[in-house]
C-alpha cells in the first residue's frame, strides 16, 4: 500500500499568477517547485495581485486550481469559515508572516481549537531591527496584543537562520519554538549575455519600490562614484509607494543634470518569470536594501552572472569572500561607490571570472539548501 503524501496547507497573501509581492511569492514558488513531488501542497491566497481591483481571469472560484506543483484556492477575502474548511484535511498548516489578516484569523482558529493540525508561522524577517524601522510602533502594539491573548501559544515558527531565530525570541519570547528552514533559490541558471564595455557600467535595481529597499540611497552612491566613466542605471519594480518613487526620480534627475555621463530609466514592473533574463543583460545589481530575510533577487542576480553590490543586512554576507560580489555597510554610501568604481574600471576578463564565481557559488547554495532543508522537519 502506498502512503498518501502529507497535505500541507499554505495560507498566504498572494501567489501566482501574481508577482508584485516579490520575494514572498517567489519563496513559495521555489518551495513547491522543489518539494512538490514529496508533498501535496494546497495554497490559499487572494484572487488578485497587489493593487488590482479585479480577480485573475480564468481561475476557478470556490475550488482548487492546478498551478505548477500546487493546488491553489483563490478567495476575494479571508474568512474564518473558509480557513477552517481548508485546514480541516491538512497535516500541517503553514502561515506566511504574522501580521496580515489571514494570519490573525488562522492563529485565532488554532487558539480556539478549530485547527487540529500543527501550525507553523513563517517569520519572514518580521522581527529584525530593520523591519521595525517601518511602522515599528504599530507592530509592537500588535505583538503585545497577540501575546496577551495567547495567540502565539500553539504556534511553532519557521525561521531562515540562527540570526532570525534570535531576533524572534527577543520579541516573542525566549521559549518560542523555532525550526530553521532556509529559503530555497530558484533552481535555474541563466547564461549571462552582456559583454562588459571598457570604462562603462550597466547597473540594475530590481525590487519593489518601497522605503525598505532603499532606492533613494542610489543617487548619493553614484554621486560619490567617479564621473569620468559612463554609468547607466535601469530600475525595475512595482511602485507600491508612488510618493517615494517620485522622490527617487527627482534625485536621479538632479544627478543626471550634474553628471551628463550618467543615464537612468524606470522600466516599470518586472514579470517574475523574466527576472533571470533581465539580470543577464546587466553588469551589476545595485541593491542598498535596509534588510532582507533572504533576498531572492540576490540569488537570482547570482544565477544570471550579474554581480551583486548589496547591503550587509542580508544573509548573503560572504559574497566578497567568494569573489562574486560586494557586501557594503547599508549606511555607508562611500563603500557602495567604491564597489561601483572598481567594477566600472574592470576589464571583461576579470569580471568574467567574477561571473564564473557567481555560478559556482549559487549552484553550491542550491544543492546545500535542498539537501539539508528544514522544511522536511516542518512538513514531516
pLDDT, position 134: 79
- Note whether 117 and 209 are same-domain residues: no
Alpha helices in the chain (DSSP H): 23-35, 80-87, 101-111, 136-148, 162-172, 218-224, 242-258, 275-279, 296-303, 319-322, 333-344, 348-371, 375-379
Q: What is the pLDDT of residues 267-326, one digit of tens each?
A: 998 988 889 999 999 999 999 999 888 898 999 999 999 999 999 999 999 999 999 999
In terms of phi and psi (left: phi > 0; alpha: psi -120 to 50; beta: otherwise), the region of 113 is: left
Compute the chain's Rg from CA coordinates. Answer: 21
- Residue range(s) defining the domain that contains residue 116: 7-181
Instruction: Determine, yes or no, domain membership for 242.
Output: yes
Residues facing residue 41 across a β-bridge: 8, 70
HSE, CB side, 13 Å, CA atoms: give it for residue 232: 11
* Count of structural domains, the chain: 2
- Note whether 173 and 60 are same-domain residues: yes
Instruction: Determine, yes or no, domain membership for 376.
Output: no
Q: What is the pLDDT of residues 126-142, one digit of tens each?
A: 898 878 877 889 999 99
- Note whether 234 and 271 are same-domain residues: yes
- Note whether 216 and 115 are same-domain residues: no
| Contact of 192 with 283, CB cutoff 8 Å | no
| Contact of 329 with 311, CB cutoff 8 Å | yes
Cell numbers at 354, concatenated: 567574477
- Note whether 242 and 330 are same-domain residues: yes
- Note whether 255 and 174 are same-domain residues: no
- Note whether 126 and 212 are same-domain residues: no
- Note whether 174 and 208 are same-domain residues: no
Percentage of the chain lying above the pLDDT 70 cut: 99
Instruction: Determine, yes or no, domain membership for 130.
Output: yes
Residue 1, pLDDT > 60, answer: no
**Strand pairing category for 119-122 and 200-206:** unpaired
Q: What CATH number has the domain bearing residue 51?
A: 3.40.50.2000
User: DSSP of 8-71, one letter per residue?
Assistant: EEEE-S--TT--TT-HHHHHHHHHHHHHTTTSEEEEEEESS-TT-SSPPTTPPTTSEEEETTEE
61-70 average pLDDT score: 94
Q: What is the pLDDT of residues 327-338, one digit of tens each?
A: 999 999 999 999
Q: Is 239 helix (H, G, I), strand (E, B) or coil?
A: coil
Q: Name which of 59, 28, 39, 334 is nearest 181 in CA terms.
A: 28
- Note whether 157 and 251 are same-domain residues: no
**Strand pairing category for 326-328 and 307-311:** parallel
How sure is the predictor about 3, in pLDDT bands with cuts at 50, 70 and 90?
low
- Note whether 207 and 176 are same-domain residues: no
pLDDT, position 179: 96
pLDDT, position 189: 75
Instruction: Determine, yes or no, domain membership for 19.
Output: yes
Q: Name which of 67, 166, 130 is nearest 311 in CA terms.
A: 130
Amino acid at each position: 500500500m502506498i502512503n498518501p503524501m502529507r497535505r500541507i496547507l499554505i495560507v498566504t497573501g498572494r501567489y501566482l499568477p501574481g508577482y508584485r509581492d516579490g520575494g514572498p511569492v517567489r519563496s513559495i514558488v521555489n518551495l513547491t517547485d522543489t518539494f512538490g513531488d514529496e508533498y501535496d501542497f494546497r495554497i490559499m491566497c487572494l484572487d488578485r495581485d497587489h493593487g488590482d481591483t479585479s480577480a485573475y481571469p480564468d481561475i476557478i472560484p470556490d475550488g482548487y486550481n492546478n498551478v505548477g506543483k500546487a493546488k491553489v484556492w483563490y478567495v476575494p477575502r479571508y474568512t474564518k469559515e473558509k480557513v477552517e474548511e481548508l485546514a480541516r484535511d491538512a497535516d500541517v498548516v503553514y502561515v506566511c508572516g504574522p501580521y496580515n489578516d489571514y494570519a490573525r484569523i488562522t492563529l485565532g482558529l488554532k487558539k480556539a481549537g478549530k485547527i487540529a493540525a500543527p501550525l507553523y508561522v513563517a517569520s519572514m524577517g518580521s522581527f529584525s531591527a530593520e523591519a521595525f524601522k517601518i511602522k515599528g510602533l504599530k507592530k509592537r502594539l500588535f505583538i503585545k496584543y497577540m501575546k496577551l491573548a495567547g495567540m502565539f501559544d500553539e504556534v511553532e515558527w519557521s525561521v531562515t537562520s540562527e540570526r532570525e531565530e534570535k531576533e524572534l525570541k527577543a520579541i516573542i519570547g525566549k521559549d518560542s519554538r523555532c525550526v530553521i528552514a532556509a529559503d530555497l533559490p530558484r533552481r535555474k541558471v541563466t547564461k549571462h549575455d552582456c559583454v562588459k564595455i571598457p570604462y562603462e557600467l550597466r547597473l540594475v535595481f530590481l525590487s519593489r519600490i518601497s522605503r525598505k529597499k532603499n532606492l533613494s540611497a542610489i543617487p548619493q552612491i553614484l554621486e560619490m562614484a567617479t564621473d569620468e566613466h559612463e554609468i547607466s542605471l535601469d530600475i525595475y519594480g512595482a511602485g507600491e509607494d508612488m510618493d517615494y518613487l517620485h522622490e527617487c526620480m527627482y534625485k536621479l534627475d538632479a544627478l543626471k543634470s550634474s553628471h551628463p555621463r550618467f543615464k537612468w530609466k524606470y522600466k516599470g514592473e518586472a514579470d517574475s518569470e523574466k527576472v533571470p533574463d533581465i539580470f543577464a543583460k546587466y553588469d551589476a545589481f545595485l541593491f542598498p536594501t535596509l534588510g532582507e530575510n533572504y533576498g531572492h533577487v540576490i540569488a537570482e542576480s547570482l544565477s544570471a552572472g550579474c554581480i551583486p553590490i548589496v547591503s550587509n543586512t542580508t544573509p548573503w554576507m560572504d559574497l566578497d569572500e567568494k569573489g562574486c560580489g560586494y557586501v557594503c555597510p547599508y549606511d555607508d554610501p562611500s563603500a557602495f561607490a567604491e564597489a561601483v568604481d572598481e567594477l566600472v574600471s574592470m576589464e571583461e576578463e576579470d569580471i568574467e571570472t567574477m561571473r564564473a564565481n557567481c555560478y559556482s557559488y549559487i549552484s553550491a547554495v542550491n544543492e546545500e539548501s535542498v539537501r539539508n532543508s528544514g522544511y522536511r522537519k516542518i512538513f514531516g
